């Protein structure tokens, strides 16, 4: 008996579970791709802002060094824009020459927001950091004293020195400073000194030190070089009054110290040197008109002084204003003369030549007619 076997073709499709798994995997990869794209886009926007700022700084520096419009040039940073301007500062600039570059939305800038480059040296007055932020991204850009830009392009990378006009300062390229500019200190010992009799100066010792020098530092007083060297100690002459010494490197004053010179006790400054104080007594007079008859009078004279020791006295008495007026005609116990309505009197003999602060002279007087 012959059996006929029939075979059925089994065609099997995807199960519902398999379809759900596939769809889930596709969704996961799609969401990852969207997030990654969004992150890349956000980073691209942020990097674009950073590039705009780091490009504007050397651009303004070059315009200054090229002495465009014979002016200093600067950069002014705002959250929404970067402005290249001509002038000593943003507020007093001529806005006609502004070059404005827009920044993406959401950018926040803090720290150093205005940079002005000198048209001769390309240097700036104050170095500092520019902090750029947008959402989760943040970048710090350092601009040093030479107008050179330093920043980390990405985390983990070394500093990038961006200087499109690298000028050689004293054999060292600005980029090699890694943002550090010269600094230093100067001090004196003592901070004041006393000038002795017959002299016009005293002495003090200066000590100074320079960090990150560009070239050899100088110590200057009133524009004159006193000493040179990036560190040192030197005795200096201190004249009467205030003496200011400046520590200077690469044309920039790093630090200053003032030392005062004054006359020693008992001495006075006469304009050129200190000398023994010369006491100059002063004299005063008082009139006691004990007899006044209208057309004339007689009065006693009392002489006083600020001198503690007896001194020879002489005073001038103006006879111009009534009742102290008229023409003298007699005196007692006085030597006198009269000219231009001024009565000059002094003692007549040894016993009344002198007066002191403790012993007024009351021995004389005069009469006068009006």
**Structure tokens that stand for 9 in this block:** 């073709």
Structure confidence at residue 4 (pLDDT) = 56
Q: If you ran DSSP here, which 8-state letter would residue 334 be given?
A: E
CATH of 283-369, one of 2.60.40.290, 2.40.50.140, 1.10.1660.10, 3.40.50.300: 2.60.40.290
Are the CB atoms for 212 and 192 separated by under 8 Å?
no
Residue of 322, 312, 369, 316 lying closest to 339 (CA atoms): 316
Delimit the domains of the chain by residue range: 18-177, 184-276, 283-369
Structure confidence at residue 3 (pLDDT) = 52
Q: What is the mean pLDDT of the chain?
A: 84
Are the CB atoms for 122 and 167 separated by under 8 Å?
yes
pLDDT by residue (tens digit) across 45-57? 888 898 899 889 9
pLDDT at residue 160 greater than cutoff 60: no
SS (H, E, C) 301-316: EEEEECCCCCEECEEE
pLDDT at residue 97 greater than cutoff 50: yes
**Structure tokens that stand for 95 in this block:** 């806005």
Residue of 318, 304, 292, 279 lying closest to 354 (CA atoms): 304
CA 175/CA 170 separation, integer angstroms: 13
Q: Can you give the pTM of this predicted structure?
A: 0.44
pLDDT at residue 23 greater than cutoff 90: no
What is 184-276's CATH superfamily?
Immunoglobulins (2.60.40.10)
Q: Match 């003369």 to its residue by tokens.
A: 337
**Mean pLDDT value across residues 321-345:** 93
CA atoms within 13 A on the CB side of 28: 6
Segment among 92-101, 108-117, 270-279 with least mean pLDDT: 270-279
SS3 assignment, position 39: helix
pLDDT by residue (tens digit) across 205-250? 999 999 888 778 999 998 899 999 999 999 999 999 999 999 998 7
CA 64/CA 120 separation, integer angstroms: 8
CA 55/CA 281 separation, integer angstroms: 77
pLDDT at residue 33 greater than cutoff 60: no
What is 18-177's CATH superfamily?
minor pseudopilin epsh domain (3.55.40.10)
pLDDT by residue (tens digit) across 174-198? 454 444 678 899 999 999 999 999 9
Strand-pairing partners, residue 343, are 317, 338
Structure confidence at residue 14 (pLDDT) = 64
Residue of 235, 232, 177 lying closest to 209 (CA atoms): 232
For residue 146, name the pLDDT band (cuts at 50, 70, 90): confident
pLDDT at residue 277 greater than cutoff 80: no
Structure confidence at residue 99 (pLDDT) = 95
For residue 32, name the pLDDT band (cuts at 50, 70, 90): low
More confident residue, 38 or 325: 325
- Domain 184-276 and domain 283-369, same fold? Reply is yes
More confident residue, 151 or 344: 344
More confident residue, 42 or 131: 131
């Amino acid at each position: 008996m012959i059996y006929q076997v029939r075979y059925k073709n089994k065609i099997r499709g995807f199960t519902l579970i398999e379809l759900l798994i596939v769809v889930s995997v596709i969704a996961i990869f799609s969401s990852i791709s969207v997030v990654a794209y969004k992150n890349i886009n956000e980073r691209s926007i942020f990097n674009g802002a950073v590039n705009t700022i780091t490009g504007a700084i050397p651009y303004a520096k070059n315009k200054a060094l090229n002495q465009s419009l014979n002016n200093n040039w600067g950069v002014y940073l705002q959250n929404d824009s970067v402005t290249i301007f001509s002038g000593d500062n943003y507020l007093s600039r001529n806005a006609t020459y502004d070059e404005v570059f827009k920044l993406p939305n959401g950018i926040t800038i803090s720290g150093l927001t205005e940079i002005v480059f000198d048209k001769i040296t390309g240097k700036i007055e104050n170095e500092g950091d520019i902090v750029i932020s947008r959402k989760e991204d943040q970048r710090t850009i350092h601009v040093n004293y030479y107008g050179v830009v330093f920043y980390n392009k990405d985390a983990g990378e070394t500093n990038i020195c961006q200087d499109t006009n690298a000028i050689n300062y004293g054999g060292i390229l600005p980029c090699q400073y890694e943002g550090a500019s010269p600094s230093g200190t100067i001090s004196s010992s003592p901070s004041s000194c006393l000038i002795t009799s017959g002299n016009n100066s005293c002495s003090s010792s200066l000590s100074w030190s320079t960090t990150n020098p560009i070239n050899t530092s100088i110590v200057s007083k009133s524009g004159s070089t006193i000493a040179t060297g990036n560190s040192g100690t030197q005795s200096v002459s201190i004249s009467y009054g205030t003496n200011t010494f400046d520590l200077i490197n690469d044309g920039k004053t790093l630090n200053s110290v003032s030392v005062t010179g004054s006359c020693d006790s008992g001495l006075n400054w006469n304009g050129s040197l200190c000398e023994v104080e010369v006491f100059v007594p002063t004299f005063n007079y008082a009139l006691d008109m004990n007899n006044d008859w209208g057309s004339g009078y007689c009065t006693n004279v009392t002489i006083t002084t600020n001198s503690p020791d007896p001194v020879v006295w002489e005073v001038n008495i103006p006879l111009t204003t009534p009742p102290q007026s008229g023409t003298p005609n007699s005196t007692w116990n006085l030597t006198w003369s009269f000219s231009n309505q001024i009565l000059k009197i002094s003692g007549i003999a040894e016993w009344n030549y002198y007066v002191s602060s403790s012993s007024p002279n009351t021995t004389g007087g005069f009469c006068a007619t009006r």
